[in-house]
Amino acid sequence: MLDLDFIRNNTKKVKKACEDKNLDGSIVDRFLDVDKKRSKLLSQTQDLRTKRNALVHELKTKPSQEQIKEGRELKDKLSKIEAELQKQEEEFKKLLRQIPNPPADDVKPGKNEDENEAVKNWGKKPTFSFEVKDHLQLGESLGIIDVKRAARLSGSRFGYLVGEGVLLEFALLQYGLGILLKEGFVPVLPPVLTKVSTFHKLGYSEHKGHLDYYLVNDTEKEIKNEEANYYLIGTAEHALVPMHEDEILELKHMPKRYVGFSPAFRREAGSWGKDTKGILRVHQFDKLEMVSFIEPQEGADKKEHEYLLSLEEKIVQGLGLPYQVVKMCSGDLGHPAARKYDIECWFPSQNRYRETHSCSTCTDYQSRALNIKYRNKDGKTDFVHVLNGTAIAMGRTITAILENYQQKDGSVKVPEVLRPYVGKEKILRIGG
């Protein structure tokens, strides 16, 4: 969430931020209106409590009938105002969550992904002397991807990884961890369920965001009780960032960097008809994710963002996959992100680049909601800045490897950096 004083003192800027992210700027006016009502009610409540406390002190002696009557009237009036205050508080928090993090100054205004900008290309696209197969054709012929049996078990957009498919995933895990551990990242295996209240604080559950995630009800408790419900995480970030909720980090331990490995669950709301073949866009996948907590100094946020992006590029370059780096325009930024890059790897069967990695800075948007602070060199506290980035999305990276490393005989070469973990140079077609 944004700082309250920032919203009050920068109304035009905050409205523009909403509009740049394709949201209705009038949400800011509604919020400020509720903010005024709430402030007035808080003041009235405080005054009535002061009067009540003074009267209670007087009533310790023998009270008069007038004092008793006044006490009852104060109690009734306070009860009504507190009820109205609670109503305004709930609306205040709801509207505050709907105001997004403003795009960074270097982010290009734009309506949607069509206005994103490719800022870098790397690698030579492979050429083939034979008809190119897509990842599903290759995966099925190699016996390493099975979506038909997965569909019987779980429905569409699920898949089994089998045999060398599993070896590829864990090879990628070891490869990615090897790079990030050398950089000082701390590995974490996080929980995959988060409380609803915690998930809201991350900023992804506003607007259409909540439709992309699975809400799990605890049927043993009252369903209407928010704390009886949970969200399945859509990435390890959703569990890594709240690790330090309500904590004060020491400056000597910053930047604090984690790499989490977890399953991720997405509804893929609004994407029906897109990428339904294979395992490119599925409801469950595994992911290696980076999260950084940094001190918000001048230029530090951008420097850390570029650093995380460089690690993503290092991982993809090591795999020998051609890619482009895309910088998101304002309209394609998520609710909490101030700036975001995607890495899109080349998919020969589609003759196009497809997203495999993302990298975002959320500045202090999430840390304010989660109350994550640090103590600076002067002993004062302030909110940290939080960044996140994909190290490896397992399924998408495997699909990119299959397509780019396919051979004429139907086999697929294993990228050299993964061979020590897979134990072979080539994955052969069944019966081949």
Active-site residue set = 266, 281, 355, 358, 396
Please give the angle made by the CA atoms of 28, 7 and 106, to the nearest 5 degrees.
Answer: 100
Pairing status of strand 323-327 against strand 339-347: antiparallel
Structure tokens belonging to residue 275: 């990428």
Question: At residue 195, what are phi and psi to the nearest 5 degrees?
Answer: -65, 150
Question: At residue 10, what are phi and psi to the nearest 5 degrees?
Answer: -135, 50
